[in-house]
Structure 1
Amino acid sequence: MRQPTDNPLWTDVDAYLNETLISSDPILESALAANAAANLPTIDVSPTQGKFLHLLALLQGATRILEIGTLGGYSTIWLARALPPEGHLITLEFEPKHAAVAQKNIAHAGLAHLVEIQIGPAADSLAKLHAADPKPFDLIFIDADKPNNPTYLEWALKLSRKGTLIIVDNVIRDGEIANPASTEPAITGTRAMFEMIGANQQGNARLTATALQTVGSKGYDGFTFALVTGD
């Protein structure tokens, strides 16, 4: 993947947007600092992307959110802040170390009462969630290991309702998503996910979807947005 510093203009524009539109936030800044101190990978969404997720959750009127891939809880905080007092966010994290850092960050943000972290392989956690027959989620954010994107999409559909918004991060992969010859698991997994989405828009369509390319301090990548339109 292209490194964020490859295009200084993208970083400069992100810095301008952050300064102009994103208020200084000690809680979120503290979360990023804690992630760095714990040597977590620097793959959190950017501040503008975090606020974008926050706004989508608000527009969705979400009261139940599922996040697949917690890392240090930066995006979790953005999403949880959009919940009403009775809301609930379940976030899934494979690495116990990451989950421990996220738990502290979420508590520091005053959101522990809204957020439940489940530790372990996400596919196993998703199967348990489905077996428990929970209420469907209003918004599902997928930002975990990319080779398993098809599996995560399949479970997201099972845990959704008509009107659920499914968002998938890191789907452009520096443009490699358009390379059918790629054998990189992150690319093949994401391409398989796109094909699943396309198939679910055919005939008795269950989804309507699009994807957007993004550039910025996180490099060249993008998001997929899929609205559940049928059963």
Structure 2
Amino acid sequence: MTSLEHWAAVDDYLVDTAIRPAESFASTRAATHEAGLPQIEVPAGQGKLMGLITELAGARSVLEFGTLGGYSTQWFAAAVGPQGKVTTLEYEPRHAEVARRNLDAAGLGERVEIRVGAALQTVQELIDSGAGPFDVVFIDADKANNANYLDAALRLSRPGTVIIGDNVVRGGRVLDDSGTGDDAADVAGIRTYLERQGQDPRLNGTALQTVSGKGWDGFALAIVRDVDEGPVDGPRGGTEG
């Protein structure tokens, strides 16, 4: 058994034992694949984790960059509750159509607004309209624009907002800053995102590697803080001793 096969088998075991998502999540995944969309949605364990983070934060408003077939959207929509709302930004009209069907079929469609178009444009429209602040932001669109999405997310946040950035390891390619390869722009966008997260005094965050049936990857997690709160623990928190 290869490492990937082993990781996938462990994923299946954890889903069956500890995660146990509602059947509607499997239906959304299956419908997304049957529609021919890329099979790049988050693993069930990560989706459940993001839902739990949303519940722990008491979140009622979520902003998502990148909808695909609505799988991660569904986790957020379930977590915000009947009075909550998820605003999700999707570039491809076909993806948005599939996501809408999936979310309606799951009984969560009324909690979700899908905005179709280039995310830098649709998020600017949100900013211009005075939307927000959002309680949770999930960034999972084209990686080349990750840092731009982070900047926009901060404009739509408040102290306490949780920001999650997905796919920040990419099989270890995040270490390659040579500027070559098919996904050089994506890697550059991820590296800039991580550097911004680590340097911005408004953010207190971490980044974790993950393995799953999708391979070796990871995500970044940060909380927006009030810059007047003082230093935080760790390398950004002043001198030792």
Under TM normalisation by the shorter chain, which class is it?
Answer: over 0.9
Residue type of the alignment partner of 2:84: G
Root mean square deviation of aligned Cα: 1.2
Residue 235 (structure 2) aligns with? none
Q: Which runs of no fewer than 5 residues in structure 1 stay unpaired?
A: none
For the residues of structure 2 that align with 1:207 and 1:33, how far apart are their CA atoms? 36
Residue type of the alignment partner of 2:74: I
For the residues of structure 1 that align with 2:185 and 2:116, how far apart are their CA atoms? 23
1:167-208 Cα deviation digits (max 9, x unpaired): 0000001011122224311101110111211220xxxx2111
Residue type of the alignment partner of 1:55: L
For the residues of structure 2 that align with 1:28 and 1:84, how far apart are their CA atoms? 16
- SS of residue in 1 equivalent to 2:209: strand
Correspondence list, 1:148-163, <5 A: 148-163=145-160
Residue 189 (structure 1) aligns with? 189
Residue 66 (structure 1) aligns with? 63
Does residue 215 (structure 1) correspond to residue 215 (structure 2)? The answer is: no
- SS of residue in 2 equivalent to 1:81: helix
Correspondence list, 1:1-231, <5 A: 7-23=4-20, 25-183=22-180, 184-200=184-200, 205-230=201-226
The change in CA–CA distance for 1:94 and 1:34 in structure 2 (over 3 A counts) is same
Query: Contact (CA 8 Å) 1:176, 1:182: kept in 2 or not?
Result: no
For the residues of structure 1 that align with 2:22 and 2:136, how far apart are their CA atoms? 24
Identity %: 47
Larger Rg: 2
Query: Contact (CA 8 Å) 1:208, 1:226: kept in 2 or not?
Result: yes
For the residues of structure 2 that align with 1:66 and 1:127, how far apart are their CA atoms? 13
For the residues of structure 2 that align with 1:125 and 1:135, how far apart are their CA atoms? 14
For the residues of structure 2 that align with 1:146 and 1:35, how far apart are their CA atoms? 21
Runs (4+) off by over 6 Å: none
Q: How many angstroms does 1:24 deviate by?
A: 5.4
TM-score (norm. length: structure 2): 0.89
**Greater shift after overlay, 75-84 or 26-35?**
26-35
Q: How many angstroms does 1:105 deviate by?
A: 0.3
**Greater shift after overlay, 155-164 or 19-28?**
19-28
Q: How many angstroms does 1:121 deviate by?
A: 0.2
Q: Which structure would you say has the larger RCO, counting Cα contacts within 8 Å and 6 or more residues apart? A: 1
TM-score (norm. length: structure 1): 0.93
